[in-house]
Structure 1
Amino acid sequence: GTAWARPCGVAPFVLRTELVRTGNRCVLAIEQWSRVSEAYGVKWSKAVRYTSHLLHTQRLSVTNLSAVAATVAPTDIMTITDPEVAVASRARPLSSPCQSISTQYVWNNLANLSRGTSNVQQLENLALRPILHPRVPSTAGNRRAREHIKTFMTTVGWTVEEDSFYDYTPYGRLPFSNVIATLDPRKSRRMVFACHYDSKLMHSQRFVGATDSAVPCAILMDTALRLVQFFTDAQESTSDLTIQFVFFDGEEAFRSWTDQDSLYGSRHLADKWSRKTDPNFPGRKMDSQLKRTNRFAGSSSCFFVFFNDIQEAFVLLDLIGTPDTFFKRRFTETAPVYNKLQQIESCLRERGLLNPTRYQHNLFSDMTDTVVIQDDHIPFLRRGVPVVHLITWPYPSVWHTSNDNLDSLEMPLIDNLARILRVFMADLPL
């Protein structure tokens, strides 16, 4: 169950309880999630886990739970473990998509990582609405969106850099700026998730590009917020893998799509990384982080990550949020990555951890489509970076119209994708 409490002198917090039967005993696990005011409204501190062994006939009230939790300050970071809790850990069912989850931690915390940490209202108000306005490159709206992304990602503890440059457009030489947020820049291998934050120039209408691509940006920001403590702990691990979010500027064409009038930010960053020395690892060029490798652990590849097979992946999100959003498997080389996302969705659906949606369809379909869509992954694909392209195709009906706004979105579906990505990222070997 869930209860709210407000002990004297501390911030409000939420209690989540789970009762697990082990023989003739019950294990009561109480998780305290503290709410701390920050620049963006709230931040959930690390769960404080308590355990109590009770006879199965004994009952505790919400008042009792509040009293127990009040004995520890809400910002304490601790874990109280008990041998019987480990015994009570649930085994993953055989012949289930949940077998794709590789770590016991994620399996034991599946409900919290998905449904438990979701807050659709905060996703909309803290991450989406502040960038849901025209964001044409080299305009005040574009700068406002960029500053929001930078401040948001810095606030949740990521290292943020701005990749600024000028390029020639049909309207002359204009400035662009990519935003690169890295969980831990000290680590040599990186799993990259990307989207574009600019919006298309539309002279005859006010175009805010909700699906294109404010929603993908909001999902990534919300993921960083929801998993803030998990990601903080990951920085203390010995793994050399980290996560990087790239928010591209200048994806849209100013006039008509050509090789020169499109993908300004991704073309620049791919070229820059192919020629620049990695500042974190002197003597190594960034292009060694972009190219495929068949080497095992210790490889210098930036997009090198373990699944059933050793894979590299650049995950690009675009045109997401309408009720008919769904994805297809597009590249054979990254099929294990796509398959894992698909299996996580099936696992969460099987366990009742996804929202009901209008069409009740799977986001990650079984369909394969080899059509290569022009998008920000292309400059990296041309340099040998295996790609996972999460895009709705055929394009949604609101594409490049004034109807691509908040009213066209299905927030429960967006939240479902956010839940899937949270579990996916938490299950990475960070």
Structure 2
Amino acid sequence: MFLRWVVEKPPFKFDDDEEHFNATLAKLLKPRFVGSKGHAEVQDFIETELKRLDFITLRNDFQQGVNITNLVGFWNMRAKFYLMLSCHYDSKKPENGTTDEFLAATEGAVSCAILLNVAKTLRQFLIDRWSEKRSVGLAVITLSYIGAPNQTFLSYFEVTNDLHNLIADIEQDLRKSGQLDDCHVLFQKKTHYDRDLLDDHIVFDEQDVPVIHVSPQEFPNFIYTPADNVENLHYPTIRNMIKIIRCFVHDFYEKWQYFMKWRQTYAINYDFYDD
């Protein structure tokens, strides 16, 4: 085990900003299938928000049957290694002949809002501690199907199982210190290497990029329906997820050098590209 167990100390406390999360989610909750007006509006909003938080933003446009744009927000582009947090911001297109509006809250909107909120509440930490260092940086591309009740999250990849267990330990530490909402345990130290849900992370795995897929074991039962809206969200899960992911990013950064020593000792390749 590494990172977490090098120095035992209470979890770092950050100021929450639920008002920002709610306002961000409201901007994202609209039909936003590729090619729609809502998709363009959400795309512009995410890019503007990342710039407002002092991230360097890049657009990667490509075609895959339709025109697709990946948005990437970099903190410290001079870094050699990156911790990359990602999710998709588009939504399902209604089937021909239907008038249903898929707001896709758990399908992508909540995940985007979580990551933007994590970026905002970590901003001062990044400014104070990581603006000038070149050993590691943060790239926020913008998790999966998060926000429904009774969700649990398992480890789907052996190469990142230790990092998954680190997240599970962080959740327990935050719970013991009274920082989490009253809610069931989200991250369990269980492995399901052959039961991962298909999602956008697959392209990274195919390129041998180590992946932690923060996704529930099953899709929410209202996924791809008009019921995937704010009224059916489970806010204790969302609040706890924000705090857990934020603390994970903080701990990963603070213990990066120990992580690199561990990586070299055990010859584990976590590079996102070949040197």
- Residues 143, 101 of structure 1: CA spacing in aligned structure 2 closer, same or farther, 3 A cutoff? farther
**How many Å apart are 1:101 and its aligned residue?**
6.2
Structure 2 runs not aligned, ≥5 long = 255-275
Can you list the C-alpha shifts for 1:40-71, whole angstroms capped at 9, x where unaligned? xxxxxxxxxxxxxxxxxxxxxxxxxxxxxxxx
Higher mean C-alpha deviation, range 218-227 or range 234-243: 234-243
Instruction: Tell me, yes or no, if structure 1 residue 342 matches structure 2 residue 239.
Output: no
Cα distance between partner residues in 1 of 2:200 and 2:7: 32
Q: Tell me the secondary structure at the aligned position of residue 204 of structure 2.
A: helix
**One-letter amino acid matched to 2:169:** Q
Deviation at 1:243, TM superposition (A): 1.1
Number of the residue aligned with 1:155: 52
- The structure 1 residue matched to 2:70, chosen from 172, 178, 190, is 178
Match of 2:4 among 100, 125, 130: 100
Q: Which residue of 1 aligns with 2:107?
A: 212
* Residues 1:322 and 2:217 are matched in the alignment: no
Per-residue displacement from partner, 1:173-226 (whole Å, max 9, x unpaired)?
A: x32111001111111110111100000011321101100011111001001111
Is 2:47 the partner of 1:143? no
Shift of 1:103: 5.8
AA partner of residue 225 (structure 2) = T
Cα distance in 1, alignment partners of residues 58 and 178 from structure 2: 39
Secondary structure of the equivalent of 1:178?
Answer: strand
Which fold has the larger relative contact order, with Cα–Cα distance below 8 Å and residues 6 or more apart in sequence? 2
- Using the TM superposition, give the Cα deviation of residue 237 of structure 1 relative to its aligned residue in structure 2, in angstroms: 4.4
Greater Rg over alpha carbons, structure: 1
Aligned match of 1:245: 140
Shift of 1:108: 5.7
- How many pairs are equivalent? 248
Shift of 1:414: 0.4
CA offset at residue 428 of structure 1? 2.0
Confirm or deny that 1:391 pairs with 2:215.
yes
Residue 191 (str. 1) matches residue 15 (str. 2): no
Q: Secondary structure of the residue that 1:162 maps to in structure 2? A: strand
Q: CA deviation at 1:118?
A: 1.4
CA distance in 1, matches of 2:163, 2:208: 17
Structure 1 residues 372, 148: closer, same or farther in 2, change over 3 A? same
Distance 2:86 2:220 in 1: 20
Aligned pair in 2 of structure 1 residues 193, 202: CA closer, same or farther (>3 Å)? same
1:343-401 CA-partner distances (Å, limit 9, x unpaired): 00000001111011xxx311102332121321111111112112111111221111111
Distance across 2 between alignment mates of 1:341 and 1:119: 21
User: More strand by proportion, 1 or 2?
Assistant: 1
Residue 331, structure 1, aligned to residue 157, structure 2: yes
Which SS does the other structure have where 1:195 is aligned? coil
CA distance in 2, matches of 1:183, 1:344: 23
Question: What's the TM-score, normalizing by structure 1?
Answer: 0.55
